[in-house]
Amino acid sequence: MAGGWAMVPILICSAVALAIVLERCWTLRRRSVLPPGLGDEVREWARTGQLNPAHLDALTNGSPLGELLASALTVRNQPRDIIKERIEDTGRHVIHRMERYLNTLGTIALIGPLLGLFGTVIGLIRMFMEVMAGGIGDPAKMAGGIGEALICTASGLTVAIPAYVLHRYFRSRVAGYCVEMEKQATALLDDLTLSPAAAAPRTRRAATPTAPRAG
C-alpha cells in the first residue's frame, strides 16, 4: 500500500514469475528430461529387434529424450537422411516445449524496472502536486511521495533481477539438454544405419539377382 497503485502490476508480475519458475524447475528436472540409461536401453532394443508399438508409445510419452529417440525408431527402415530429418523435426518441437514460458519470464525481467520507474514518476508527480497545493510546510507529505517512489523502484528491481537470472539459467539448462539429446540421437542413428545388423537387409536387397527377361 505504501507504494501506491503502481505496485499492482509489479505484484502481478512477481506472482506470474514465481509460478513460471516453480513450473520450469519441476518440468526441467534432469531425470525427467534425460532419464538415466535410456539411450543405452533404446539402442539395445534396436540391436535385438525388441521394438513394438507399446515400446514406442511408452518411449514417446515418457520424456523429451524418449520422444526424440522414438521418432528415429519409427522410420528406422528408411535411409539415413530421412531418419536424420525426422530427428531434427522432432527436436525442434521438443526444444520449443522445453522453452515454454521462458519468453514470458524474460519479458517480466525486462518490464520490471520499467514498472518501478513508472511508479517512481507517479510518486514524484504526486509529491510535487501536493507541494504546489499546500507549499512545503508539511515535510510528511514530501516524505510520503519520495517513499512511494523509492518503494516502487525497489520492488521493480526485486522482481526483475531474479527473473532475469533465472531466465538465463533455464536457457542454459535447455541448451545443455539439447547437446546431450543430440549425442544420444546421433548414437542411435549410427546404430540404425551403420551397424552390420542394419546394413544386412540393404545388402541382401542389393545382391538379389534380377530374373532374366524372356526372349
What is the Cα–Cα distance from 62 to 96, expressed in whole angstroms?
A: 17
pLDDT digits (tens, 9 = 90+) for 48-87: 877 778 778 888 888 999 999 998 888 888 888 999 999 9
Cell digits of residue 95: 526444444
What is the Cα–Cα distance from 43 to 80, expressed in whole angstroms?
A: 16
Task: Quote the pLDDT of residue 134.
Answer: 63
What is the Cα–Cα distance from 17 to 106, expressed in whole angstroms?
A: 9
Task: Quote the pLDDT of residue 199.
Answer: 46
pLDDT digits (tens, 9 = 90+) for 10-40: 899 999 999 999 999 999 999 999 999 888 8
Quick check: 46 and 184 in contact, CB under 8 A? no
Indicate whether 143 pLDDT > 70: no
Instruction: Please give the full DSSP string across 19-43, using - where no structure is assigned.
Output: HHHHHHHHHT-HHHHS-TTHHHHHH
Indicate whether 213 pLDDT > 90: no
Q: Where are the domains of the chain?
A: 7-195
Task: Quote the pLDDT of residue 210.
Answer: 43
90 band by pLDDT with thresholds 50, 70 and 90 = very high
Q: Number of C-alpha atoms within 13 angstroms, CB side, residue 152?
A: 25
Task: Quote the pLDDT of residue 7.
Answer: 81
Residue whose cell numbers read 526441467: 28
pLDDT digits (tens, 9 = 90+) for 98-134: 999 999 999 999 999 998 888 888 877 777 777 676 6
What is the value of pTM for the model shown?
0.79
What is the Cα–Cα distance from 161 to 87, expressed in whole angstroms?
A: 37
